[in-house]
Amino acid sequence: MSYCINPACPQPQNPNSVNRCQACGSELILRDRYQIIQPLGKGGFGATFLSKDTSLPGDPICVIKELRPSTTTPSVLEMSRRLFEREAETLGKIGHHPQIPRLLGYFEWKKHFYLVQEYVSGSTLKQEVKKQGPLTEEQAQEFLLEILPVISYIHSQGVIHRDIKPANIIRRSQDGHLVLIDFGAVKDHVSQTHLASGGTGETAFTNISIGTSGFAPPEQMALRPVYASDIYALGVTCI
């Protein structure tokens, strides 16, 4: 199946045999390369999709994150482009760690912005806890011993994750190691783009979710995250 990424499409699922959505007419292959299979997550300003890279042998699976700027005025679009490129550079830098998904590419297409990342197969910590119950003290210690070096690494690269929670930590099925996902590229860009379009700090705080309530500390929800914000969220994750 192919999936239409037009958020207004009334029937996004399509057969593989068509190149345009049967319901809304949108193109189904991004840049004549990426075929969207299904959505993984959606927000008010962007979405994440499971995709196939049809330009490579075997059509390998990847993850595509899409940013849709709040408006398409030239100033906002240019600000979005600069922030997007800077974020892509950051993800490319930190993605060399074996427990962080690699950045495979990024591009602008029809005034929308896309990140292409490695797909990690496995169960999230949220799924494991739901199935097996809360971590024991010993399990929590083992969890921290493995994930803290990953967080230390991204901090050494000048990056704050901003959204550490059980749903963003995957136990990779291939080897059982923990992988930290979702570095909030879409959320960061959207919040800054919104400010660039004339919104006040109060408006941005009201309309843009930075992190996840219950995990993010107060300074992060007030748009002033620091490295310790990730440690706070990690502590809540263990609880």
How many residues are recorded in the chain? Answer: 239
What integer is the mean pLDDT of 177-185?
Answer: 82
**For residue 93, pLDDT beyond 50:** yes
The predicted pLDDT at position 192 comes to 42
The predicted pLDDT at position 47 comes to 83
Whether 163 sits among the annotated catalytic residues: the reply is yes
What integer is the mean pLDDT of 90-112?
Answer: 88
Higher per-residue confidence, 190 vs 92: 92
Q: For residue 79, what are its two tokens?
A: 């600000």
Q: How far apart are CA 177 and CA 208, in angstroms?
A: 32
| This model's pTM is above 0.75 | yes
Last residue of a domain, one of 87, 118, 149: 118
Let me know whether 34 and 78 are in one domain. yes
Which segments of 95-184 does DSSP mark as H helices, in order?
125-132, 137-156
Last residue of a domain, one of 53, 88, 118: 118
Last residue of a domain, one of 64, 83, 118: 118
What mean pLDDT, rounded, does the chain reach?
84
Let me know whether 163 and 71 are in one domain. no
> In the chain, how many domains are there?
2
| Percentage, residues of the chain above pLDDT 70 | 86
Among 32, 53, 59, 163, the one annotated catalytic: 163
